[in-house]
Amino acid sequence: MEMSLAHNKSFMVSSELLMAYDEFASFEHGEKGNIIDFIQYAYHMESPFVRMYETINDRLQKIGEIVQIKDERAFQILFLVGTSIKSVDDDELAKLEAEQNQRMQSQIDSMISCFLSRIQNNYKFELYITYQSLFSEYCSRLRSKVPFYIDEDKALKAMETKVKITQPSQDLISSIERLRKEIFGNNTHYAEIIDKKVSKGVEYYAKNFKKG
Phi, psi (rounded to 5 degrees) for 28? -115, 120
pLDDT per residue over 166-195, tens digit each? 888 889 999 999 999 999 988 888 998 888
Look up residue 119 and give its DSSP letter.
Answer: I
Q: What is the pLDDT of residue 2?
A: 53
Residue type, 116: L
Q: What is the pLDDT of residue 46?
A: 93
Question: What is the average per-residue pLDDT within 17-28?
Answer: 95
- The enclosing H or E element of 181 equals helix 152-184
Q: What is the pLDDT of residue 102?
A: 86
Measured in whole angstroms, the distance separating CA 28 from the mean position of its chain's CA atoms is 20
Q: What is the pLDDT of residue 165?
A: 82
Say how many C-beta atoms besides its own lie within 10 A of residue 45's C-beta: 11
Q: What is the pLDDT of residue 21?
A: 95
Which pTM does this prediction carry? 0.78
Percent of the chain with pLDDT over 90: 42
CA distances from 101 to 39, 82, 144 (A): 18, 14, 45
Q: What is the pLDDT of residue 87?
A: 45
CA distances from 164 to 61, 138, 141, 157, 173 (A): 51, 11, 11, 10, 16
Q: What is the largest CA-CA distance in the chain?
A: 76
